[in-house]
């Protein structure tokens, strides 16, 4: 079964100002949060939504991920941290519809911050992403095989792409 906060259809996870959702620093802590799309060797995320309709994450609070726990050394030649072999993404939305992300701040992602996979109708507005710029591949938002995704007003402090996308599957 799933561990940690999994999203549910028709439910809003609301973080009020001053509230913090803090995640464990162990990759094994997310053993119940597997996703089908493996990214950089990782099949896990801190928060997972799969096959959901009409859910949201909102508010003025902070989602604090354990990015610094996944630094295993320094690479002086490149000038970056050396990341752990596997790291969880913060949020993976997979095969979801009508999802809203608004207002929250996400900090210290170990890897990709938000991964939107095979979704339709995702609205991202007014969130802030703040990651360690020395930790490789802490992309902001990665859109993968999804349609009708809108993104507005998302300041991103990331070590790689603030926004990345792939082509939707044929017929989508």
Cβ atoms of 130 and 151 closer than 8 Å: no
- Dump pLDDT digits (tens) for 36-78: 999 889 999 999 999 999 999 999 999 999 999 999 999 999 9
pLDDT at 108 over 90: yes
Distance CA 34, CA 92 (A): 10
Give the 3-state secondary structure of residue 74: strand
162/8: higher pLDDT: 8
Which phi and psi angles does 68 have, rounded to 5°?
Answer: -65, -25
What's the pLDDT at 21? 97
Distance CA 146, CA 156 (A): 21
Q: What percent of the chain has pLDDT over 90?
A: 85
pLDDT at 167 over 90: no
Query: How do strand 71-75 and strand 34-39 relate by DSSP bridges?
Result: unpaired
- The neighbouring-strand residues paired with 57 are 13, 101
Q: Tell me how many degrees the CA angle 130-135-136 measures, rounded to the nearest 5.
A: 110
Distance CA 13, CA 7 (A): 8
What's the pLDDT at 59? 98
- Dump pLDDT digits (tens) for 78-102: 999 999 999 999 999 999 999 999 9
Report, as an integer, the average pLDDT of 109-126. Answer: 97
What's the pLDDT at 164? 84
């Amino acid at each position: 079964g799933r561990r940690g906060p999994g999203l549910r259809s028709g439910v809003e996870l609301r973080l009020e100002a001053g509230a913090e959702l803090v995640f464990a620093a162990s990759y094994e802590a997310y053993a119940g949060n597997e996703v089908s799309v493996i990214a950089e060797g990782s099949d896990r995320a801190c928060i997972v939504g799969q096959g959901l309709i009409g859910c949201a994450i909102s508010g003025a609070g902070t989602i604090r991920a354990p990015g610094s726990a996944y630094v295993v050394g320094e690479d002086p030649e490149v000038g970056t941290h050396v990341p752990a072999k596997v790291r969880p993404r913060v949020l993976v939305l997979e095969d979801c519809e009508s999802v809203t992300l608004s207002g929250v701040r996400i900090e210290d992602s170990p890897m990709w911050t938000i991964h939107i996979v095979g979704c339709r109708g995702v609205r991202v507005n007014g969130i802030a992403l703040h990651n360690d710029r020395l930790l490789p591949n802490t992309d902001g938002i990665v859109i993968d095989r999804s349609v009708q995704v809108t993104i507005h007003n998302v300041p991103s402090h990331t070590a790689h792409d603030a926004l990345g996308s792939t082509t939707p599957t044929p017929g989508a």
